[in-house]
Amino acid sequence: MKNIKATNAPKALGPYSQGIVIDNFCFVSMQLGIDPSTGKIVSENVAEQTERVIKNIDAILKEGKFSLNDVARATLYITDLNDFQTINNIYAKYFRHKPARSLVVQAGMPAGAKVALDVIAYKQEEDAENLEYATR
């Protein structure tokens, strides 16, 4: 098991890791639209938050030697169902391979975020050769 510590993604807001790699899997903790350079939500705009959320996920995956194309499962969290179409359109640009996904609509999130995402990525055995800790 390896903890991921991506410097170009926000630090965890609590006692958890940005992500964990176990064998050929990468589990990325829920990411908010936080700018890693400021530690604050990028803006009140849900589209800007969504873009930042996916950039944060991408940075963590890359640090673990995975990519957005390796995402097999995602959970999307939003606070306003009226924002769903905007969020979904941006999500679709990055996840063209259409991983399995759940949607959670909740009353609130940390830092006043409007959108968040967590993912599970997987690499096939033949794609995992660069992972020193991959199952062989």
Confirm whether 108 is domain-assigned: yes
- Each residue of 46-64: pLDDT tens digit? 999 999 999 999 999 999 9
Confirm whether 86 is domain-assigned: yes
pLDDT of residue 12: 86
Confirm whether 25 is domain-assigned: yes
Confirm whether 83 is domain-assigned: yes
- Longest Cα pair distance anywhere in the chain, in angstroms? 46
Q: Quick check: 94 pLDDT over 90? A: yes
pLDDT of residue 131: 62
Residue 68: which of 38, 114, 31 has the closest Cα?
31
User: pTM for this structure?
Assistant: 0.91
Do residues 111 and 42 touch, judged by C-beta distance below 8 A?
no
pLDDT of residue 135: 44
pLDDT of residue 126: 66
Confirm whether 135 is domain-assigned: no
Confirm whether 82 is domain-assigned: yes
In the structure, what pLDDT confidence band is assigned to residue 133 with cuts at 50, 70 and 90? low
The number of distinct structural domains making up the chain is: 1
Structural domain harbouring 98: 2-127
Tell me the pLDDT of the chain averaged across its residues.
93
Confirm whether 11 is domain-assigned: yes
Q: Quick check: 124 pLDDT over 90? A: no
CATH number at residue 51: 3.30.1330.40
